[in-house]
Amino acid sequence: GSDPPDQTPPHPSAAFLGGPGEGSPCASGLGWAGEGPGASGKNRRVCHAAARLEMGSLWEEFNRLGTEMIVTKAGRRMFPTFQVKLSGLDPLADYVLLMDFIPLDDKRYRYAFHSSSWLAAGRAEPAAPGRVHFHPDSPAKGAQWMRQIVSFDKLKLTNNLLDDNGHIILNSMHRYQPRFHVVLVDPRRDSERFAHQNFKSFSFPETQFMAVTAYQNHRITQLKIASNPFAKGFRDGDPEP
């Protein structure tokens, strides 16, 4: 059967009619029309995937001020933590979830304290090694991912180009957009032929940030302390929030 024409993910039994290993793409017109029909369509097990950013109002509050995220040699967790609520996955299929961070522009910045604003200060440094962070529960069934909020609280940001802990490497005083990816684990032997059909990516503009080694805008410092229960003496051994 063809997929329903509306944008909302239908009941799973309708969305995932294909048997195991069937990779028929979603009908175009479900948000992927720009990619054209046929080979570039998305696998029906990812094309209905939807992600809602958690703590959206807090992210918005930071974004209005100009979010800053600390990077350290040892690696620092993000606050707010990147968290999403997933829907539209096939409950019985396996998925890997991961994140990466892409530069928002080709500039390096400095903070002008007298005007409380960020100014471009020349060309970006050469891009740090592009890394991805796999959610540690990967791979897991769609049902498990959808059951609770998915939290990337183990992810750490570093400015150490030689980091060997697997942390995300960023250049300080550069702007970044976090990206979130849902990747279907394709059981077919020749699955790499279908790799471009087997993932769906999400970007939330309100999560973009400036990487810094120390907070520049004092309002960001205040908001972090006010809203982060661990801001006063953040330690790795802390219980999960």
- Taking only the tens place, the pLDDT of each residue in 159-189 is 999 999 999 999 999 999 999 999 999 888 8
What's the per-residue H, E or C state across the chain?
A: CCCCCCCCCCCHHHHCCCCCCCCCECCCCCCCHHHCCHHHCCECCCCCCEEEECCHHHHHHHHHHCCEEECECCCEECCCCCEEEEECCCCCCEEEEEEEEEECCCEEEEEECCCCEEEEEEECCCCCCCCCEECCCCCEEHHHHHHCCEECCCCEEECCCCCCCCCEECCCCCEEEEEEEEEECCCCCCHHHHHHHCEEEEECHHHCEEEECCCCCHHHHHHHHHHCCCCCCCCCCCCCC
- What confidence score (pLDDT) does residue 73 get? 97
What global pTM score does this model have?
0.80
Tell me the pLDDT of the chain averaged across its residues. Answer: 84
User: Across residues 33-61, what is the average pLDDT?
Assistant: 79
Report all structural domains of the chain as residue ranges with CATH numbers, in order of start.
50-227 (2.60.40.820)
- What confidence score (pLDDT) does residue 32 get? 34
